[in-house]
Amino acid sequence: MLKPSYKEAKKRTKDKINVLRDEYVIPSSVKNLGMGKKYYIKTYGCQMNEHDSEVIAAILEDMKYTKADDYEDANLIILNTCAIRENAHNKTFGMLGRIKHLKQTKRNLLVGLAGCMSQEESVVDEILSKYKWMDFVFGTHNIHKLPEILEAHENSKKLEVNVWSNEGNVIEGLPAKRDSNYKAWVNIMYGCDKFCTYCIVPYTRGKQRSRRPDDIISEVRELINKGYKEVTLLGQNVNAYGKDFDDLDYKMENLLEDVAKTGIERVRFVTSHPWDFTDKMIDVIAKYDNICNYIHLPVQSGSSRILKLMGRRYTKESYLELYNKIRNKVKNCSITTDIIVGFPGETKEDFEETLDLVKICKFDSAFTFIYSPRVGTPAAMMKDDVTKEEKEKRLYELNDVINKYALKHNEKYVGKTVLVLAEKVSEKDDSMLAGYTDTMKLVNVKADEKYLGQIIKVKITDAKTWSLDGEIDE
């Protein structure tokens, strides 16, 4: 058994980061483990986790499992979890409750926990004491070891816990079964060293490790050959890409430029921490048409006092300076953000500062959250005297302003013709296709399925807060 430890996860060593290319092997005893069996993966959390699930799916398919449409039809269920807020936890434990019932009637069902919650010491302790009926737990650092963990479980028939507290390496050569044939997630880095005081990610994802540029570019070229139109470069703090190379002076602006030069039709990247956003990056984004005019720039708070307590390393003023620079240099750029309300000690005045910043920036849209204490983080030890009701009131008020601007931005599109990557049949109406503009506006368009996977011209006919409607403009 290998349990995670908060103390170990917090450590940042100067050890060299190795790129390991031969770590993924399927032991012969489990090569056909999934023959005639089905798997179901439930994914929570961010794009990073979505992509990890694509890797887990491919590993299971390498072991001959096939995909089940519903968890009730599966022989193996994996919950790929998120630890960012309390409600992510609750959802997972709720799902585990339902699965427990299923397991009582389906003796051979295997159930595993993966993702960021697996990296939490307190979660693993809870699994070991109250969820002994589960079969395996693995973490974010050893996804490639899944076949060996399943082999160990085959031999022991007991709960196998195998979670590494930290990983200093980059694993290459992993397969991925991508959810889309048109747009793809591409990891450019793992981990995060920012340690914002409220955030669990540096503990669950380990130290920052950038993938080598050649490996990223080859992956993008391979995707182009397969017909992909769009890549999203993924990392918790992509602007810090390359800062951990000790033998190479190659940063995010270099990578963005080289990815743009592959000729892929659309390049996106998430997430950008304002601290590492350089002028050179802005210039590259402005220069290449295939780098989308869309930047997600989490601000978290408009109060410099709270930003300091959060450990964000910028002030309201320096954020605004960066924001205006981007708006001025990247024409028609859409900018979205993340905001936390009710951070420990946030006063009415602090919250007013946030509202003020939102009114100045007029974001295209925003993800807003009530602060949720995470065990093991510094903010969880801070005195939090704002009531739940007050926090909810602030969130409500903030969302009201955010939504007003979101609608205003969308209304500007009405009557215009935009390019949309038609990526799926609309969930609400199967005569409609859904896709995004390069500015990341969701568009529903009346169009035949033959347009799927194409970048089509769409005339916008109507604007809502969260989406646009349109018709094909031929």
Residues at the interface with ligand F3S (CB under 6 A): 45-46, 48-49, 82-84, 115-116, 200-201, 204-205
Taking the complex as a whole, how short is the minimal distance between the CB of residue 192 and ligand SF4, in angstroms? 3
Out of 204, 236, 377, 410, point to the residue binding ligand SF4 (CB under 6 A).
236
Q: Which does 336 bind (CB under 5 to 8 A by kind): ligand F3S, ligand SF4, ligand SAH, none?
A: none
Q: Which residues within the stretch 280-309 sit at the binding site for ligand SAH (CB under 6 A)?
A: 298, 300
Place of tokens 């909810």: 392
Distance CA 228, CA 453 (A): 8
Burial label, 365 (beta-carbon count in 10 A; 0-12, 13-18, 19+): buried
In this structure, the number of other CB atoms found within 10 A of the CB of residue 230 comes to 22
- Quick one: how far is CA 138 from the chain centroid? 19
Which of 99, 234 has the CB closer to ligand SAH?
Answer: 234
Binding mask 176-195 for ligand SF4 (x = CB under 6 A): ----------------x-xx
Binding mask 345-384 for ligand SAH (x = CB under 6 A): ------------------------x-xx-x----------
Taking the complex as a whole, how short is the minimal distance between the CB of residue 435 and ligand F3S, in angstroms? 24
Q: Which does 195 bind (CB under 5 to 8 A by kind): ligand SAH, ligand SF4, ligand F3S, none?
A: ligand SF4
Place of tokens 């307590």: 309
Binding mask 77-106 for ligand SAH (x = CB under 6 A): -------xx---------------------
Q: DSSP letter at 211?
A: P
312, 376, 381, 303: which is closest to 341 by C-alpha?
A: 303
Taking the complex as a whole, how short is the minimal distance between the CB of residue 399 and ligand F3S, in angstroms? 20
92, 83, 162, 91: which is closest to 116 by C-alpha?
A: 83
Q: What is the per-residue DSSP string for 267-311?
A: EEEE---GGG--HHHHHHHHH-TTB-SEEE---B-S-HHHHHHHT
Q: DSSP letter at 117?
A: G
324, 329, 328, 240: which is closest to 277 by C-alpha?
A: 240
**50 and 232 in contact (C-beta within 8 Å)?**
no
Distance CA 127, CA 56 (A): 21
Which of 84, 421 has the CB closer to ligand SF4?
Answer: 84
207 scored as a contact of ligand SF4 (CB under 6 A)? no
**143 and 174 in contact (C-beta within 8 Å)?**
yes
273 scored as a contact of ligand SF4 (CB under 6 A)? yes
Out of 53, 75, 210, 237, point to the residue binding ligand SF4 (CB under 6 A).
237
Binding mask 61-100 for ligand SF4 (x = CB under 6 A): ----------------------------------------
376 scored as a contact of ligand SF4 (CB under 6 A)? no
Q: Which does 414 bind (CB under 5 to 8 A by kind): ligand SF4, ligand SAH, ligand F3S, none?
A: none
> Could you tell me the sign of the dihedral formed by the alpha carbons of 364, 367, 371, 375, in that order?
negative
Burial label, 212 (beta-carbon count in 10 A; 0-12, 13-18, 19+): middle
Taking the complex as a whole, how short is the minimal distance between the CB of residue 198 and ligand SAH, in angstroms? 4
Taking the complex as a whole, how short is the minimal distance between the CB of residue 372 and ligand F3S, in angstroms? 11
Which of 307, 433 has the CB closer to ligand SF4?
Answer: 307
Radius of gyration of the chain (CA): 23
Residues that bind ligand SAH (CB under 6 A): 84-85, 198-199, 236-237, 271, 273, 298, 300, 338, 340, 369, 371-372, 374
Residues that bind ligand SF4 (CB under 6 A): 192, 194-196, 199, 201-202, 236-237, 273
